[in-house]
Amino acid sequence: MIDIKIIRENPELVKENIKKKYQMDKLPLVDEVIELDKKNREYQLRGDELRNKRNNLSNQIGNLMKQGLKAEAEDIKKEVNDINEELEENKVKEEEFQARVTEIMMKIPNIMDESVPVGKDDTENVENERFGEPVVPPYEIPHHADIIESLGGLDKESAGRTSGNGFYYLLGDVARLHEAMIAYARDFMIGKGFTYAIPPFMIRSDVVNGVMSFEELEAMMYKIEGEDLYLIGTSEHSMIGRFKGQIVKEEELPICMTSYSPCFRKEVGSHGIEERGLYRVHQFEKEEMIVLCKMEDQMEWYNKMWAMTVEFFRSLDVPVRTLECCSGDLADLKVKSCDVEAWSPRQQKYFEVGSCSTLGDAQARRLSIRAKGEKGNYLVATLNNTVVASPRGLIAVIENNYQEDGSVKVPEVLWPYMGGTKVITKK
């Protein structure tokens, strides 16, 4: 949610930002919120005037009572009662307009960074940089589901019986490799100076509304029936929510945390659930990182964070690239975002394994997260980035370490987490 002052003072900037995101249906919202905000401020001003008048009359009542002029005091009391009634009516109107302003403001996209490329959708995202040489071996690489099944590591049939499409059992050494990556990611981030956390895996609606847009909510979140609770789609949600309504000390910034969680997603929309493999599923596990910092430091941290994910995957012998998200592919709360994509030697193309974003003060404004400085309190910037999400990260490691005999090499950095196992062989 952007600052209402920006809409008041520069509505054309807000409209231009909406046009760049190809959300023409939202253009009328700008004029609508300006008009509603004007009405709201009129009621706020009227409320202030009435309260001042009431205070003055209350002082007069006290003076009249001291002078023994009870009849005159009673007349003024009636006037005060009338003011109280008008104040109640005014309060209802003020709250009504404020609620409507907030509702619309939640739908107006955040102002993107000037460096974001303009494009309609993810087909117009822009490659930034490649890291590591993509290799296509001289032998065929099977579909990742076939590889994992041949290693005795996958049972989707049983998961279909217990839970339905989009779920899976990981077994044996493959399951261990999956957990080894998560454990290594945890230690990797601790080594970068981030504080490790295991957050709640369910959050309330006020936190959900604070961390994501309505469009994302409908497509992603599972709601617990009969409870004001949602299963998290990423631990960023509960990690940022941890600071809801808090004022942190400026000297504590930046706050850098890394968190483990299972993640649950409906995956509603054009992508759908992958029937055969593990690329798009309803549940997965992830190591995440978040940063709270001063607004002026957000881009420095943004670049540091995606670079950490690149370093992580390169340590697993996986070639990667970064892909700049264009305006039409950028979620409404985000200022700037890029994906980290891993090389698939089977498909001979890159696929997404992580995403890094800065949201400016949008989440902080919704959740009232501030820092206390010498010149007063101010909203912080919030950033998030995937260290690794598995099974997507698992797919990348398996394909890039698949050998001609059907075995999979375990990256050296994972040997200590695999009990010394260096190769996973066919079963």
CATH number, domain containing residue 289 = 3.30.930.10
The pLDDT, as a whole number, for residue 272 is 62
Nearest one of 99, 359, 336 to 211, comparing CA atoms: 359
Residue 415 located in a structural domain: yes
333 and 217 in a common domain? yes
Nearest one of 3, 275, 324 to 143, comparing CA atoms: 275
Separation CA 31–CA 24 (nearest Å): 13
**pTM of the predicted structure, to 2 decimals:** 0.89
Separation CA 392–CA 388 (nearest Å): 8
Q: What is the mean pLDDT of residues 277-304?
A: 96
In total, how many domains does the chain have?
A: 2
pLDDT of residue 12 exceeding 60, the answer is yes
The pLDDT, as a whole number, for residue 323 is 97
- Chosen domain end from 105, 130, 159: 105
pLDDT of residue 24 exceeding 60, the answer is yes
Separation CA 423–CA 403 (nearest Å): 10
105-109, 274-278, 287-291, 305-309: which range is least confident on average?
A: 274-278
Q: What is the mean pLDDT of residues 214-234?
A: 87
Residue 286 located in a structural domain: yes
Helix axes 392-400, 172-191, angle to 10 degrees: 100
269 and 230 in a common domain? yes
189 and 148 in a common domain? yes
Ordered strands of the 283-293 beta sheet: 126-131, 320-324, 336-344, 349-358, 381-390, 283-293, 255-264, 195-197
Beta bridge partner(s), residue 390: 285
Q: Where are the alpha helices (DSSP H) in 192-225?
A: 205-211, 214-220
Pairing of the two strands 376-379 and 370-373:
antiparallel
pLDDT of residue 196 exceeding 70, the answer is yes
231 and 290 in a common domain? yes
The pLDDT, as a whole number, for residue 213 is 77
86 and 141 in a common domain? no
pLDDT of residue 386 exceeding 60, the answer is yes
407 and 337 in a common domain? yes
Q: What is the mean pLDDT of residues 392-418?
A: 97
Residue 413 located in a structural domain: yes
pLDDT of residue 162 exceeding 80, the answer is yes
The pLDDT, as a whole number, for residue 251 is 95
Mind listing the pLDDT tens digit for each residue in 247-287?
Answer: 999 999 999 999 999 999 987 655 666 678 899 999 999 99
Residue 114 located in a structural domain: no
Beta strands (DSSP E) in 123-238 are 126-131, 154-155, 169-170, 195-197, 202-203, 222-223, 230-231
127 and 94 in a common domain? no
Mind listing the pLDDT tens digit for each residue in 47-72?
Answer: 999 999 988 888 888 888 888 888 88
- Chosen domain end from 105, 135, 158: 105
Residue 117 located in a structural domain: no
The pLDDT, as a whole number, for residue 268 is 64
Separation CA 127–CA 114 (nearest Å): 17
361 and 252 in a common domain? yes
The pLDDT, as a whole number, for residue 139 is 96
CATH number at residue 8: 1.10.287.40
78 and 192 in a common domain? no
167 and 92 in a common domain? no
162 and 50 in a common domain? no
Residue 75 · residue 140 · CB < 8 Å: no
Q: What is the mean pLDDT of residues 68-97?
A: 88
Q: Provide the residue range defining the domain that includes 350.
A: 122-424
The pLDDT > 90 percentage for the chain reads: 86
- Chosen domain end from 50, 79, 105: 105
188 and 74 in a common domain? no
Residue 284 located in a structural domain: yes
